[in-house]
Amino acid sequence: MKLNRIAAVTALGIMAAAGTAQAAEMVVGFAQVGSESGWRAAETKTAKLRAHQDKVNLRISDAQQKQENEIKAIRSFVAQGVDGILLAPVVATGWDSVLREARDAKVPVFLLDRQIDTSDPTLYTAAVTSDTVLEGHMIGDHLAKLTNNKCRIVELQGTVGSSPAINRKKGFEEAIAAHPDMKIVRSQSGDFTRSGGKTVMESFIKAEDGGKNICAVFAHNDDMGIGAIQAIKEAGLKPGKDILVVSIDGVPDMFKAMANGEANGTVELSPDMAGPALKALIALKSNGTEPQKWIKTPSTLYTPATAAAEYKRRAPLY
């Protein structure tokens, strides 16, 4: 009897250890867009932190904002036999074939911070993103209130073909459609970067009589908004006053700009997209729990009124 009991306890012990070891050995590939913005860098930093906390071995590839590099990374992760893949899809189209390979190899894929256009929802397990249409709508409503529903707006779009650029534009236009005196008079992509935002804003200022005819700039992310602030200053104008600045992400530098009176509002986007994805992947792998298809992160409007305090709260995250 005694021997059987010892054997059973030993077997349990080995299984438990193996179980823990298995969770510790979970390997996940992260096909990251790149490091085009402060928010993107914070998403990568947070992903590393969450992986460490969840005892996941996270392998990150930086695609330098090129879809072909993300596709190569996904193929490589599948070949390595990873337990799961996180994908932040730089653009919304062109994923079906490589995601079919991952699905057929039984490697679950979680989308982070951007959606894809596909007619086959089985190509990914879940998407962890904000409601990017809502973000555009919220900041459009905010600008309408700031300008009493009358404003000539220039728009700095995000990466062409990316879901946030398409959706934020859609939501913003829905918000201002209710106000005939609010018009987007110029719109161009700054590719979600500070330098792109600055360069495009310089061209808008030149085209609009030195900026005198521009009431506000709507930037699809804070980094392009910060670039626009630099361009407005270099044109001898006051950002936040002569030309209002509204954007999305909620990075610390935008809170600093608002506290300095140089910007007028931002909608916060959580950089923690990997956390919910890893939790869902672990639940799927360990007890077969299927996650909901869209794990939605919150969107909150912030204005200069609370910017100084909020800046202090956020800096450690970035």
Taking CB under 6 A as the rule, does residue 164 contact ligand GZL? yes
Q: Out of 30, 36, 194, 214, point to the residue binding ligand GZL (CB under 6 A).
A: 36
Q: Cβ distance 279 to 51 under 8 Å?
A: no
Q: How far is the CB of 48 from ligand GZL (least distance, A)?
A: 17
Q: How far is the CB of 203 from ligand GZL (least distance, A)?
A: 21
Taking CB under 6 A as the rule, does residue 39 contact ligand GZL? yes
Q: Which strand (E) or helix (H) includes residue 296? A: strand 294-297
Taking CB under 6 A as the rule, does residue 40 contact ligand GZL? yes
Taking CB under 6 A as the rule, does residue 211 contact ligand GZL? no
Taking CB under 6 A as the rule, does residue 73 contact ligand GZL? no
Q: Out of 124, 192, 204, 218, point to the residue binding ligand GZL (CB under 6 A).
A: 192
β 299-302/84-87 pair status:
unpaired
Taking Cα atoms as reference points, which of 113, 208, 97, 101 lies closest to residue 168? 113
3-state helix, strand, coil in the chain (%, to 5): 50, 20, 30
- Considering only 23-31, 33-41, 98-106, 206-214, which stretch makes contact with ligand GZL by CB under 6 A? 33-41
Q: Out of 202, 249, 253, 262, point to the residue binding ligand GZL (CB under 6 A).
A: 249
Closer Cβ to ligand GZL, 141 or 223, answer by number = 223
Taking CB under 6 A as the rule, does residue 37 contact ligand GZL? yes
Find the binding residues for ligand GZL in span 258-317 (CB under 6 A): 269
Amino acid identity for residue 30 in this structure: F
Taking CB under 6 A as the rule, does residue 95 contact ligand GZL? no
Taking CB under 6 A as the rule, does residue 227 contact ligand GZL? no
CA atoms within 13 A on the CB side of 103: 14
Q: Report d(CA 24, CA 12) in Å as an integer.
A: 18
Residue carrying the six token digits 């609010």: 182
Residue 234, SS3?
A: helix
Taking CB under 6 A as the rule, does residue 69 contact ligand GZL? no
Q: By CB under 6 A, how many residues form the interface with ligand GZL?
A: 16
Q: Cβ distance 162 to 112 under 8 Å?
A: no
Taking CB under 6 A as the rule, does residue 219 contact ligand GZL? no
Q: Out of 54, 70, 83, 113, point to the residue binding ligand GZL (CB under 6 A).
A: 113
Taking CB under 6 A as the rule, does residue 189 contact ligand GZL? no
Taking CB under 6 A as the rule, does residue 221 contact ligand GZL? yes
The DSSP letter of residue 30 is E
Task: Give the neighbor-by-neighbor strand order of the sheet with 57-62.
Answer: 57-62, 27-32, 84-87, 109-112, 126-130, 294-297
The DSSP letter of residue 248 is E
Taking CB under 6 A as the rule, does residue 110 contact ligand GZL? no
Q: Is 33 left (phi over 0), alpha (psi -120 to 50) or beta?
A: alpha
Q: Report d(CA 102, CA 107) in Å as an integer.
A: 5
Closer Cβ to ligand GZL, 197 or 291, answer by number = 197
Applying CB under 6 A, the residues found at the interface with ligand GZL are 36-37, 39-40, 113-114, 129-130, 132, 164, 192, 221, 223, 248-249, 269
